Structure 1
Amino acid sequence: MDKRRKVSNPLALAVLAFLLMEPMHPYELGRRLQETDKDRSFNYNRGSLYMVVRQLTKAGFIAEQETVRDTERPERTVYSITDEGRHELYDWLRELVATPREEYPHFGVALSLLSVLPPAEAAELLERRSQALVTEIGGIRERVRAATGGGLPWVFLVEEEYRLALLEAEHRFVTRLVPALEQPDYISSWHKIFDPQ
């Protein structure tokens, strides 16, 4: 069973990890998340980042280290991780790495109700999905190739390798599913259930 967390938004885990490296202002945190493509792994926007920073501060996982005043920019508060935050980071990360958990991706929901769609339409929509997957897979491969070619160690791209493995598996699945939807037996049974005339 998952442990109940004081701050449960996964973006909080990224904030703690980046603050483990060095104290910084939320704007800098956001910039680094985007520069390293870590923002692709979280539901991220500037508003959600500031909300998570407030929650982490309230929970005692991070603390204001200093407020910087600059004549060209507004006042900026720099945050650092606390000992309690360091413990939370390692405990939470260990749990996520070691323990599989039930997740509910939107495509799984769609597949659970796929039989509602007419077979020809379902097959056509899955063909479109297949093409979108091919495009996405190609983009990830190119990003990984460029990053590793630029000297970035593989471990900093492991989430992209995972994403690639999932997308490739999904593409194989979709490719096998389309012909099954086009089988005359399935089409006939669909009409009996959803379009009896």
Structure 2
Amino acid sequence: MNRPRRSVLALAVLSMLTEEPMHAYRMQQLIKERHKDDVVNVSQRNSVYQTIQRLVRDGLVAVEATERADNRPERTTYRITDAGRVTLDEWLRDMLSTPAREYAEFPAALSFLPNLAPPDAVDALTTRVARLTERLAALDAEVAEVGRFLPRLFAIETEYQRQVVDAELTYVRSLVEDLRAGRITWPRV
């Protein structure tokens, strides 16, 4: 048998189903309500349904019930299987213990920076500094808000994101400074 394909969304679905059986729309709502959409892409509802179907096919999730209320569309409720619980545990252990190669846009853009003229690069990076500063303030507010009514455990991914954004902000400010001072330059290709 093939190993089930791991994804962040599949991890989120399995995790939601450890709480109770639920339908896809409810999972998507909870992910958004709990601000997990900062780390799990649920912008396309269809991706949640596709992930659930894959988990059903892999035997990690099963249909609990299918019902129709009045003239509304049919709604299927799913539950996690024993194999799903084992897989969730394995995925979490692996994701926590093993750094993954992730291909983010920003490092890719940095690698092709010489395609812009240095002043254009400075302008773009200065805009990034402003946006990172805003993001950092939003993350600080979120950590403070969650801390008012929940234990720290429920904000650790936000704390992590805050540290990453802070480190990126420090780096980009330094890069802009080096570009402005002419310590890094290139002819435009």
**Structure 1 and Structure 2 fold alike (TM over 0.5):** yes
Where does structure 2 lack aligned partners over 5 or more consecutive residues?
Answer: none
Q: Tell me which residue corresponds to 2:142.
A: 143
Aligned position for 1:21: 19
Is the contact between residue 61 and residue 78 of structure 2 (CA under 8 Å) also seen in structure 1?
Answer: yes
**Amino acid of the residue matched to residue 64 of structure 1?**
V
Distance 2:14 2:36 in 1: 13
| 1:123 and 2:110 aligned | no
Unaligned runs of 5+ in 1: none
1:100 corresponds to 2:121:
no
Query: 1:72 deviation in Å?
Result: 5.6
Most deviating of 53-62 and 39-48: 39-48
- Structure 1 pair 84–126 and aligned structure 2 pair: CA distance change class (3 A): same
Q: What are the superposed Cα offsets for residues 107-159 of structure 1, whole Å, 9 maximum, x if unpaired?
A: 0001111123211111111111000000111111112211221x112111111
- Summarize the Cα distance change of 1:41–1:186 in structure 2 as closer, same or farther, 3 Å threshold: closer
CA, structure 1 residues 118+81, in 2 after alignment: closer, same or farther (shift >3 Å)? same
Encode CA deviations 1:17-58: one digit per residue, 9 max, x unaligned.
Answer: 010111111111111111101122122121100010100001
The aligned length equals: 187
Alpha-carbon RMSD across the aligned residues, in angstroms, is 1.6
Residue pairs, 1:1-197, within 5 angstroms: 5-44=3-42, 45-71=44-70, 73-149=72-148, 151-184=149-182, 186-187=184-185, 190-191=186-187, 194=188
C-alpha distance 167-184 of structure 1, shift in aligned 2 (>3 A): closer
Instruction: Name the amino acid aligned to 2:115.
Output: V
SS state at 2:136 partner = helix
Rg bigger for which structure? Answer: 1
* Superposed structure 1 runs of 4+ greater than 3 Å apart: 184-187
